[in-house]
């Protein structure tokens, strides 16, 4: 086996994907050729480093900063959020509640107003007794 054939098979050899005979040939060549052995060692170090880097998790502080940066970058502007709030579909019971609250307030106000207005505007009703004989008011001359 020459160096070009060996270099073409190094990745397959590193992942154990070679058949038995080509694997033995690559192993023999690596034992005899220092240049290919160094290339194989570099390849293994790169693969191990890539696997280790893929499995390492960043520290929590880095994750929090990254999350805050992403939220800041992709968060809609205040006017878009307000527009989305206005355009949100409203269930039917919300419309009924929105109409019932002002109606209840109006009824409470008018009934309280009638009680207060009735006591002030009709002095003749005050002191009424159905058993007493009616008083006749004479016109003042």
Give tens-digit pLDDT for 5-33.
898 898 898 888 989 999 999 999 999 99
Is residue 77 located within the same domain as residue 50? no
Give pLDDT tens digits for 85-104: 778 777 777 777 888 888 99
Q: Are residues 51 and 71 in the same domain?
A: no
**pLDDT above 70 coverage of the chain, percent:** 84
DSSP, residue by residue, 9-62: HHHHHHTT-S-HHHHHHHHHHHHH-HHHHHHHHHHHHHHHHHHHHHHPPPPHHH
Q: Is residue 102 part of a domain?
A: yes
Q: In degrees, to the nearest 5, what angle opens at C-alpha 116 toward C-alphas 97 and 110? A: 25
Q: H/E element holding 72?
A: helix 60-74
| 12 found inside a domain | yes
Count of CB atoms situated within 10 Å of the CB of 57: 7
pLDDT at 46: 86
In this prediction, residue 32 carries a pLDDT of 92
- Which of 36, 56, 76 represents a domain boundary (last residue)? 56
Per the structure, how many domains does the chain have? Answer: 2
Specify if 9 maps to a domain: yes
Residue 140 lies in a domain: no
Task: Identify the domain containing residue 70 by its residue range.
Answer: 57-114
């Amino acid at each position: 086996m020459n160096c070009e054939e060996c270099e073409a098979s190094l990745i397959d050899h590193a992942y154990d994907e070679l058949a038995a005979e080509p694997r033995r040939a690559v192993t023999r060549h690596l034992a005899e050729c220092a240049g290919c052995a160094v290339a194989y060692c570099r390849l293994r170090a790169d693969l191990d480093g890539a696997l280790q880097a893929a499995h390492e998790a960043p520290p929590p502080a880095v994750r929090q900063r990254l999350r805050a940066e992403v939220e800041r970058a992709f968060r809609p502007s205040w006017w878009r959020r307000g527009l989305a709030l206005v355009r949100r579909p409203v269930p039917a019971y919300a419309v009924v509640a929105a109409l019932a609250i002002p109606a209840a307030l109006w009824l409470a106000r008018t009934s309280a107003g009638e009680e207060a207005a009735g006591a002030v505007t009709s002095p003749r009703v005050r002191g009424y007794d159905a058993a007493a004989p009616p008083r006749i008011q004479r016109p003042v001359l």
